[in-house]
Structure 1
Amino acid sequence: MKINRLIYIISCLAVFSTFTACEDYLNPENISSSNEAQQFDSTADTFTALIGVYNQIIGDDAYGQRLNLYYPQSADDFKISGDFNCNDRRGISTYGACTSNPDLNKPFLKLYSGIERANLCIKNIPLSPVYKTGSAAEKALMDRYLGEAMTLRAQFYYDLIKNWGDVPMQMVPSSDLETVYLPKTDRDVIYDKIIADLAVAADLIPWKSKANTSNTRITKAAVKGLRARIALARAGYSLRRDPRVMAKGSNSEVYYKIAYDECKDIMTSGEHSLNQNFEAVFRALHDNSEDAAKEVIFAAGAFGGNAATDSKIGYFNGMKHDDNSNWKGGGNVLALPVYFYEFSKYDVRRDLSVAVNKVNNDNLSELLTGALWTDGKFRKSWTNVTGTSQNLGIDWPLLRYSDVLLMFAEADNELNNGPSAQAIKAVRDVRERAYAGNLGQAGTIPTDKTGFFNYIVHERLLEFGGEGLRKYDLIRWNLLATKIAETKQNLTNFLNGTGKYANVPSILYYKVSPYDKTKTAQATLNGIDIYVPAGVSREDVFYTPTPGTAPSGYKTINWRVAVNATYINDPLKGYAQYFEANRKELLPIYNDIILSNYNLTQDYGY
């Protein structure tokens, strides 16, 4: 059988890897030379094979860097730092990626490697002698492994579709194919298959309370949450090949109902809840622990200090720590300055989601110009890693309970032509967590269908900043082009100090202050000595025009005036400069992958 380059690479990668970690389930023995039958002849060996599937969701080419930090940029919240280059991450962030961009290569291949590994598990687990001679407990364990493999395969296909649209669908191991030169399959066909698979998987995998495992292992809630997310994508818009337009999926109500049911099951299970300490959810990810409320339902693990299994979360992205500080890293994912001003001053999410300060070379905290604010939910100084290390072992949250609540509310609104009381409560729970201590400032939730939908659109912007969801939300709502245009106008108004930015200070005066990594993000910002004019409260200093004279002893920082026309529209530095509606909602496939398969087409005008 002829094997093209793509499938050959995938097949070579499909042997079951050996790697180590702090948890027992990440310590398989090395049996990569075993044949398929031997690989699945016991629960222990099958588990080793399953870990080979999990291995493909982590590392630099998956949710350790590229899939979660590069690909989701830019929406109306963040962008990648630096000047445009079509052949690197900045080309992706500006919607100007070339087909020769190497950052498009390995993630695509890694996802198909994960599919290959999952296919081997899905084929061979039902054929295992454990099903014939094993105990009831062993059979249940094998069923769980089967469900996990099906769930991971669904995640891999979802990642492929949301970034590349229609892709080849392979549901059996490569060795079982008559030809490996597979053409693209319509994404709705793939969606329907994996949505059906996830329904089966949910019956095979226990809830967390019965699973006795961490949140880096799939539980029933993770399956149901992923099924809801994929169902909403199937119901929503995506860029089609022929004709090349954004079009809504067929039979949307069917998929809204799937999302509604799955989210409701999670909500009524009692297994997960909102952590009333928003920051604690993210702090826990920095030491591979779980937040007290188990809000993070599923996370991509990170370990080992290497590119294959660890992550650069907190080193590539996150709050900036200057090179000669105790913690070198962060600062490459920049918050759009107008994103900071989407939050009210009472919203506890603001100072965590957007870091307007950094740690300087003297390990002191200081303000940044408005053009250099970063995502702030991840901070190298929150880990135990110092020095120049790039691999920090920070887990990535793939699914949080707040997402379940907001997906439920969105589906409910669509099905009922307006929100039910339960949907309104789900949104209010998320909103009131953000306004803890200031519930009177949380505002009123609309009760009409359009108003409620728009409220969810905005609430998801505030809740999930820096978590890699926003661009894909905007695509499935067919709002990406609209929000990019709105954001460019907002940036222009910000530059000019007009409209809702009329009272944003052009500059601020401040003194560097001690940095204490044990303090909250809000306390860290409040600890910086910012000059407050007479008659102005500290919390209003970001919303009050600059006083005319610099006080003695204070530094000046360009707050609003750091954002100029170059920041918005320059060919090298501009925001989303190369976006084109009905084309750039998807990425091109790396050219060598196209050349490896004569049935694979580029499409979407690339």
Structure 2
Amino acid sequence: MNMKNNIKLAILSMSLMGLASCDMDAPSISTLDESSVFATYSLAESEVMSIHVSFGETNSYRGRFLPYYGVNTDVEWGNAPSYADRVSDKQSLWNYSTLPGNSQMNTQNTPNAFDKFYEGIERANLAIKGIRQYGNIENNADMRHLLGEALTLRAVIYNDLLKAWGDVPARFEPNNSDNMYLPRTNRDVIYKQLLADLLEAEDYCYWAKENAITKTTERVNKDFVKALRARLALYAGGYGLRGDGYRLSKDPELAPEKMYQIAKQECEEVIAHGSSKLGSFKENFVKLCQDNVTAGGESLWEIPFSAGRGRVLYTWGLKHNAKDQYTQQSQGGVNRAVSTLYYDYDPEDIRRDITVVPYEWSKDLKDGKAHVVLSGLNKMCFGKLRYEWMNRIVTSTNDDGVNWQYMRLADVYLMAAEAENELGNTAAAWSYMKPVLDRVLPAAKVSALQTKYTASQQAFREGIYDQRALEFAGEALRKADLVRWGIIDQKMAEAKAKLQALQTRTGDYAGLPDKVYLKTVENESEIEIYGLNKGENDATVINGFEGDWESKNWFGSADKPSLTDDIIDGLYVATPSLNCLWPIWQYIIEASNNMLNNDGNYGQLSD
């Protein structure tokens, strides 16, 4: 069943207005009770699918969490960072200075992500309780899968709650009069519950493509369950902001070596099973833009958005300034690439020109068609998501319907590599990094990186830091990585220093050309760029350009530089490690019956 239809069914089921038509023996909707719903597969499925509804609501993942969590980092920033504007509500969500009254989030009339996450958790709790009680899971494999799916979706939501808010109330049973108001729970307790839940879910869920249910990346499969458990283990065993400072957990059950062992085992089992395969780097993102949700490729699971819902490309995609031949939505480019990111890649790295794009699509149209125009050193877009790669024309002004890719197989390989190295097996670690690099770099350069990274455990650790940045830039994974590694302050300071060097073209950036040239074509396949790399200032080449070209002084001028101090200083305005969480919003605090607060380090616990 197509997920877009499943979401509609879930809404109908939740409002008691409809019935999954594929089960002709299902009882009348007017007579439904819990035992009927969770004993009937089609109805139980709709209840599990209703969890997705909470992802797509206005200020949930759609319009608040996905656009704002994950920036700013050393590779991603919100559009136009500004120190002068640092106290504005949008800037403060990016620059590590968020306050409880932030107007983008403190919205009681249109509940924000924190509320919507708990709405999704409540739906999951109801489904888990109902399927356990009435689903006959001992004798019904599909019902077992549904239980595993509900456990996994609940873990997804808790994962993001913990990343953004740290210690939060733990709700693992449906709401009742006894648990209406809850205080924060130590995140260690929640992590241990989630790791246990996902271990249970592994026993219930089908592998990708094993069953009709798991033929699509919009449904949970065992590949994803294991990968998510690995990711949660790395977070649980890593650094985080606590009531008594930025540190590792004190719980011996969450010791780093134990968490790395879990990550190693889970990732290696996914890779060895082979139900999901790495393709080319570009193919993964083209398929995502084309709504190709066939399981078995690189994508392990995606947050499913209906065609008229979701702001994925709107926020993280390549900017279109007008309604043109590719889209009727003039959006994209809300979040952008930090200016140094383009230059972090090897010029032969296939990932560079897919990930970081120095152009946009024009506002001016000719016969209804836009052409490419240079953006700017401080305005480079991410290019993994593009309207021009879609099979359909987006007509909504606010939503694009592209799914959010929550986990892909390259992440599993790099988590396996990281875990093996941290457990002292650097040679084995390289065997998992190599496939990720083989598809994007020439063999000689992969060999050179092997020599560099396998020189020591620390050298490989640095390689993981670098390769995860280059592989996942624009996918909102970097901030949580920097936090868990304990290096967010170091890397953010390095990012500012690199931006200052790029601003003045000193150090690694000395010798970059003044001008960048772009062939202003209407067809993506004909785009040509010259001047971004060192040595690309040959007058003979420039004079030989044929067709329509434009140029731009890439670094601006002495009195009007492209990279200003205001932009650079706006990257972060407080110590990132001590401000890497969001506060719980003020209206939630006021309605918590004195159970919640933001005292000290954002209300975090010290035990």
CA distance in 2, matches of 1:154, 1:426: 26
Query: 1:172 is aligned with what amino acid?
Result: E
**Counterpart residue number, 1:464:** 472
Q: In the alignment, is the contact (CA less than 8 A) between 1:208 and 1:220 conserved in 2?
A: yes
Query: 2:117 is aligned with what amino acid?
Result: L
3-state DSSP of counterpart to 1:245: strand
**Counterpart residue number, 1:187:** 187
Decide which moves more: 293-302 or 219-228.
293-302
Q: In the alignment, is the contact (CA less than 8 A) between 2:236 and 2:259 conserved in 1?
A: yes
Query: 1:273 is aligned with what amino acid?
Result: K
Q: How does 1:60-71 map to 2 (within 5 A)?
A: 60-71=58-69
CA distance in 2, matches of 1:296, 1:336: 25
Q: In the alignment, is the contact (CA less than 8 A) between 1:583 and 1:604 conserved in 2?
A: no
Change (3 A) 1:529 1:81: closer
1:283 to 275, 278, 286: 286
Query: 2:205 is aligned with what amino acid?
Result: I
Q: In the alignment, is the contact (CA less than 8 A) between 1:64 and 1:396 conserved in 2?
A: no
CA distance in 1, matches of 2:226, 2:528: 43
3-state DSSP of counterpart to 2:533: helix
CA distance in 1, matches of 2:78, 2:437: 28
Q: How does 1:570-589 map to 2 (within 5 A)?
A: 570=566, 574-589=569-584
Q: How does 1:233-272 map to 2 (within 5 A)?
A: 233-241=235-243, 243-248=244-249, 250=251, 251-272=255-276
| Identity between Structure 1 and Structure 2 (%) | 29
RMSD across aligned C-alpha pairs, in angstroms? 2.7
Deviation at 1:576, TM superposition (A): 2.2
CA distance in 1, matches of 2:263, 2:162: 18
Q: How does 1:481-492 map to 2 (within 5 A)?
A: 481-492=489-500
CA distance in 1, matches of 2:469, 2:250: 23
Deviation at 1:200, TM superposition (A): 0.3
Change (3 A) 1:582 1:331: closer
**Counterpart residue number, 2:591:** 596
Deviation at 1:415, TM superposition (A): 1.4
Change (3 A) 1:194 1:389: same
Change (3 A) 1:311 1:31: closer
Change (3 A) 1:141 1:97: same
Change (3 A) 1:135 1:91: closer
Corresponding position: 1:346 with 2:348: yes
Cα distance per residue 1:161-219 (max 9 Å; x no partner): 011100010110112x5142211111111000110110001101110121323001000
Q: How does 1:436-455 map to 2 (within 5 A)?
A: 438-442=442-446, 443-445=448-450, 446-447=453-454, 448-455=456-463
CA distance in 2, matches of 1:343, 1:529: 16
Deviation at 1:381, TM superposition (A): 2.5
Q: How many residues align?
A: 554
Could you tell me which runs of 5 or more consecutive residues in structure 2 were left unpaired when the two chains were aligned. Answer: 17-31, 107-111, 603-607
Corresponding position: 1:322 with 2:326: no
Deviation at 1:89, TM superposition (A): 3.2
CA distance in 1, matches of 2:341, 2:250: 30
**Counterpart residue number, 1:495:** 503
3-state DSSP of counterpart to 2:400: coil
3-state DSSP of counterpart to 1:453: helix
Change (3 A) 1:149 1:432: same
**Counterpart residue number, 2:28:** none
CA distance in 2, matches of 1:542, 1:291: 38
Change (3 A) 1:405 1:21: closer
1:557 to 548, 552, 557: 552
Deviation at 1:43, TM superposition (A): 1.5
Query: What is the TM-score of this pair, normalised by structure 2?
Result: 0.85
3-state DSSP of counterpart to 2:13: coil
**Counterpart residue number, 2:372:** 365
Query: 1:343 is aligned with what amino acid?
Result: Y
Cα distance per residue 1:519-576 (max 9 Å; x no partner): 3xxxx5xx2364x7xxxxxxxx522375799969864313234797895642x87432
Corresponding position: 1:334 with 2:329: no
CA distance in 1, matches of 2:146, 2:103: 34
Cα distance per residue 1:223-276 (max 9 Å; x no partner): 0000000000011111111x123335642211111111100110111111211x
Q: In the alignment, is the contact (CA less than 8 A) between 2:307 and 2:402 conserved in 1?
A: no
3-state DSSP of counterpart to 1:585: coil
Change (3 A) 1:566 1:346: closer
CA distance in 2, matches of 1:38, 1:86: 53
Q: In the alignment, is the contact (CA less than 8 A) between 1:495 and 1:561 conserved in 2?
A: no
Change (3 A) 1:458 1:600: same
Cα distance per residue 1:408-452 (max 9 Å; x no partner): 111111112x4133x2111011011111xx222233222211010
Decide which moves more: 47-56 or 199-208.
47-56
**Counterpart residue number, 1:410:** 418
1:77 to 75, 78, 82: 75
Could you tell me which runs of 5 or more consecutive residues in structure 1 were left unpaired when the two chains were aligned. Answer: 1-18, 533-540
Q: How does 1:298-317 map to 2 (within 5 A)?
A: 298-305=301-308, 310-317=309-316
CA distance in 1, matches of 2:44, 2:116: 21
Query: What is the TM-score of this pair, normalised by structure 1?
Result: 0.85
**Counterpart residue number, 2:149:** 148
Deviation at 1:393, TM superposition (A): 1.4
1:294 to 265, 272, 297: 297
CA distance in 2, matches of 1:291, 1:41: 29
Q: In the alignment, is the contact (CA less than 8 A) between 2:98 and 2:583 conserved in 1?
A: yes
**Counterpart residue number, 1:378:** 385
Deviation at 1:48, TM superposition (A): 1.4
CA distance in 1, matches of 2:2, 2:103: 28
Q: In the alignment, is the contact (CA less than 8 A) between 2:165 and 2:581 conserved in 1?
A: yes
3-state DSSP of counterpart to 2:360: strand
Corresponding position: 1:120 with 2:102: no
CA distance in 2, matches of 1:473, 1:568: 28
3-state DSSP of counterpart to 1:556: strand
**Counterpart residue number, 2:23:** none
Deviation at 1:122, TM superposition (A): 1.4
CA distance in 2, matches of 1:379, 1:454: 31
Q: In the alignment, is the contact (CA less than 8 A) between 2:315 and 2:334 conserved in 1?
A: yes
